[in-house]
Amino acid sequence: MSLDPARLAPMANAIRALAMDAVQAANSGHPGMPMGMADVAAVLWSKYIKFDPKAPKWPDRDRFVLSAGHGSMLLYSVLHLTGYSHPTIGEIRNFRQFGSPCAGHPENTHLEGVEATTGPLGQGLAMAVGMAIAERHLNAEFGDALVDHRTWVIAGDGCLMEGINHEAIGLAGHLKLGRMTVLWDDNHITIDGSTDLSTSEDIRARYAATGWHVVSCNGHDTADIERAIDEALADPRPSLVACKTIIGKGAPNKQGTSATHGSALGEAEVAAARQTLGWSYPAFEIPADIYADWNATGDRGNAAHSQWRDRLKASDRATEFTARMNGELPQLHDWAAYKAQVAAGGPKMATRKSSEAALDVLTQDIPALIGGSADLTGSNNTKTPSTGPLTAENYGGRYVYYGIREFGMAAAMNGMALHGGIIPYGGTFLVFTDYCRPAIRLSAIQHVRVVYVMTHDSIGLGEDGPTHQPVEHVQSLRMIPNLLVMRPGDTLETAECWEIALNERSRPTVLALTRQNLPAVRHDASENLCAKGGYRLRGAKAGRRVVLVATGSEVELALNVADTLEGQGIGADVVSMPCTELFDEQPDAYRADILPRDVLRVSIEAGTTFGWERYTGLDGLRIGLDHFGASAPAEVLFEEFGFSVEKIMPKILAKLG
């Protein structure tokens, strides 16, 4: 079927008009990209994207990601015109105003139809790779009848220029994600001007070298766009469709220049654009026949959806599939027994090993768990017998070898979680959270359940030295809102932290885990005490004058310090604080009981002390590491840097006076 160019032109102009008028009304925003890609969008939704505005979340819809998130008005226009209940025209009029779901950049929490929060360039495309992985995996598991959709991306020059693009397309090419199509807004313009200012790269050659199919088209010739997309769909590889466009197309004096990128066109230019486009309607008014043509684009998806519903009804796996897509956890058969066994005691163990032991059980019971590591599988202990490799030959596997692509891994995990049906976890060294921090931040903004398994969490990793030893990382991750940062102190706490992370449906978690062995510090699994964030691990025996608050590997040290204090008749509580965020959410009375003000409060954590004043008070004592580590065996480093009973005792005694 070929589309009718005469019908597509006014449909595209409706996007152009809404974009330039909304940006003009807000006097803020980006008209150039929506105006430039309007023709491509009209073709894409008219013929290709499978969507149902009446049921925006049905699991077998195509996923569309606007990676060039600054062009948000393109997406808002399409959602409105195709008949999603939101955004309304009123909400579009309020583009970029407080309370409007039409935020400056698309936010997945604001509108159905916005599959991912985008704006940080490059990450949208990288998340789409995760969505495409999720689709193939669930297809392998549930079959064509239930899972059979595509992933579409609109990306700009910026998305392709960012470093993460290399990681993302490398992974997609390797995994042969042929159902992924990227439409590149090849307009030769970025904010500073022509792309000639900053790049001479042969993007087509780079994509081809990475295992992608590449095709070009004139992004303003709808028949040519159609030809190119048809070719992309026919090719088994993931496809890059280079759409040669003019940024701000339709604004007669500004099109083709960066002036249209990120500011209102101005009243005069908007009026001139109306002339040029032959668009005689007032701002925010769309003629009924154009609405009707846009609305009709949803008919294909609506029909596909109803056929899919029939197939779901007929499927003997309907309940399982629906629960899975709803993100529900199945019954955990062996978990309680596992925790009881751990509480009974065991050998000294690194918490990365404790995490592996927990994952052994959890991956057996929870098929949605898809693991992976950025080339540190043996160090992160992320692979279990239940998770075979997920490869181009076997998408049914449950372990992704992400390669040395930390940022790409984190973004792909966001995409998998956004897709639904998958709970992704992935590992690297904690110090390299810096390499994926922008995606961790997007996990938090997007409220997705992603678990970061970050091992080698302090100087305790030893000989690899300061480049590999996290110092500021735990504390700096705690600063990210809506992110749980957990530093468990033994095998039981690690199990509890995993349990919390998996039950958190709208928050990501970072697990900070040790390389070095730790003894068991708790032997009662009757209540998940980590869920309180911090709890009294051991109460003072003598009159309490000190509360020691420690996390992770330093809990053992705190217990030893407490023993020594008690030996001198000084009562000391030991508080284990695996997760400050959860502790902060406890009632005042609980927190006051755990951290009383009338005693000396001492924090012990092998990381920056910055921020621990919140728990020790300014008059408390903070034992930490406010400088980089060194290359030496772990025990030597702990001793040298003051993490020993002998070095801590005099500081406490001096404070007690």
Helix (H, G, I), strand (E, B) or coil at 596: coil
Q: Is 52 in the site for Mg ion (CB under 5 A)?
A: no
From the list 186-194, 264-272, 286-294, 425-433, the region that binds Mg ion by CB under 5 A is: 186-194
Nearer to ligand TPP, 438 or 642 (CB): 438
The Cα 582–Cα 532 span in angstroms is 6
Least gap, CB of 36 to ligand TPP (angstroms)? 7
Give which of ligand TPP, Mg ion, none residue 254 binds (C-beta under 5 to 8 Å, depending on kind): none
Binding mask 149-178 for ligand TPP (x = CB under 6 A): -------xxxx-------------------
Give which of Mg ion, ligand TPP, none residue 33 binds (C-beta under 5 to 8 Å, depending on kind): ligand TPP
The Cα 374–Cα 436 span in angstroms is 11
Binding mask 256-295 for ligand TPP (x = CB under 6 A): -----x----------------------------------
Nearer to ligand TPP, 150 or 441 (CB): 441
Evaluate the CA torsion angle 284, 286, 288, 291 in order and state its sign: negative
* DSSP classification of residue 46: I
| Touching Mg ion, residues 137-166 (CB under 5 A) | 156-157
Query: Do 225 and 217 touch, CB atoms closer than 8 A?
Result: yes
Least gap, CB of 195 to Mg ion (angstroms)? 7
Query: Do 377 and 365 touch, CB atoms closer than 8 A?
Result: no
Q: 3-state SS of 318-353?
A: HHHHHHHHCCCCCCCCCHHHHHHHHHCCCCCEEHHH
Binding mask 91-120 for ligand TPP (x = CB under 6 A): ----------------------------xx
Helix (H, G, I), strand (E, B) or coil at 411: helix
Among 25, 33, 125, 436, interactor with ligand TPP by CB under 6 A? 33
Give which of ligand TPP, Mg ion, none residue 121 binds (C-beta under 5 to 8 Å, depending on kind): ligand TPP
Q: Is 297 in the site for Mg ion (CB under 5 A)?
A: no
The Cα 390–Cα 388 span in angstroms is 7
Burial 569-594 (b: 16+ CB within 10 A, else e): ebbbbbbbbbbbbbbeebeeeebeeb
Among 24, 139, 187, 297, interactor with ligand TPP by CB under 6 A? 187
Nearer to ligand TPP, 241 or 349 (CB): 241
Which residue's entry shows tokens 């998340």?
127
> Among candidates 250, 291, 257, 285, which has minimal Cα distance to 271?
250
The residues assigned a catalytic role are: 406
Query: Do 362 and 354 touch, CB atoms closer than 8 A?
Result: no
Q: Is 185 in the site for ligand TPP (CB under 6 A)?
A: yes
Question: For residue 230, how many other CB atoms are within 10 A of its CB?
Answer: 14
Nearer to ligand TPP, 121 or 540 (CB): 121
Q: For residue 373, what are the contacts with CB-CB under 8 A and spacing of at least 6? A: 379, 380, 382, 383, 401, 402, 409, 426, 427, 428, 453
Nearer to ligand TPP, 439 or 562 (CB): 439
Among 10, 29, 32, 470, interactor with ligand TPP by CB under 6 A? 32
Query: Residue number with the shortest CB distance to Mg ion?
Result: 157
Q: Is 453 in the site for Mg ion (CB under 5 A)?
A: no
Q: Is 121 in the site for ligand TPP (CB under 6 A)?
A: yes
Among 65, 247, 565, 577, interactor with ligand TPP by CB under 6 A? 247
Looking at the DSSP assignment, which residues form a beta bridge with residue 518? 349
Q: Is 122 in the site for Mg ion (CB under 5 A)?
A: no
Evaluate the CA torsion angle 613, 617, 618, 622 in order and state its sign: negative
Question: Percent helix, strand and coil across the chain, each rounded to 5?
Answer: 45, 15, 40
Size of the site for ligand TPP (CB under 6 A): 18
Which residues contribute to the site for Mg ion (CB under 5 A)?
156-157, 187, 189
Which residues contribute to the site for ligand TPP (CB under 6 A)?
32-33, 68, 70, 119-121, 156-159, 185, 187, 189-191, 247, 261
